[in-house]
Amino acid sequence: MKLTVQNLRLERSGRPVVADLSFTLPAGEALLLTGANGAGKSTLLRALAGLFAPTNGTIRLDGPPGDFDADLTVAERCHVIGHQNGLKSALTAFENLLFWSNYFGASNPAARVDAALDRMDLASLAEIPAAYMSAGQKRRLGLARLLVADRPVWLLDEPTVSLDQASAARLGNIINTHVASGGLAIAATHLPLGLDNARELRLTPPAVTAAEDHL
């Protein structure tokens, strides 16, 4: 599997936000989007997710040979975690994740939810409504959506917001596991994520530099 972006141009009100961007991200790698506020990180993630129409260029996800879903778009194969956690305040932690697991068509959704709560250290809060959770707990619950159904592409916008050091490290381990199993991850971040196999792409509007190895 490989994600290819070629000659991508994104504009807002006629003003270029991202211009002439090209990169390739193969399976088993992560890409960190860095740069100042307003550099286009969130806009690029939205475009990759199919939520923002490019002015020019292409976004293509190629599957492995013989993949019967080879023509699916990135949007149909991705998890997207934005600034909002995507939670219903009146629903419990379990109910929130069960909704997403069913929405994504996961098999054995209840078991997937239990496993996701455990991996995000939220099992003890399974029956607590989201409204009663702290900001950090809500963020972990929102991120647990990554684990309730299998999707190969993860698009993450400032995923460590509201997380303490231990929770941020836990998230880094989860992303590493996903990438090591052949997935892709693209994260806009101002902070290190502790990823094992990642490159950095620094955005500088209106032009974008080439991807470089992240050490």
Least confident of 36-40, 132-136, 174-178, 197-201: 36-40
Q: Please state whether beta strands 78-81 and 153-157 pair in parallel, antiparallel, or not at all (unpaired).
A: parallel
- The whole-angstrom separation of Cα 103 and Cα 109 is 10
**Residue 208 phi/psi, 5° resolution?**
-130, 135
On the question of pLDDT at 206 being above 70, the answer is no
Average confidence score pLDDT of the chain: 91
Tokens 């690029």 appear where?
44
Q: Is residue 208 predicted with pLDDT exceeding 60? A: no
Residue 28 CA to chain centroid, in angstroms? 14
Domain boundaries, the chain: 2-86+151-213
The class level of CATH for 2-86+151-213 reads: alpha beta
The closest alpha carbon to 139, from 114, 156, 115, belongs to 156
Query: pLDDT at position 3, please?
Result: 94
Above 90 in pLDDT, residue 134? yes
- The answer to whether residue 148 scores a pLDDT higher than 70 is yes
- Residue 78: the pLDDT is 94
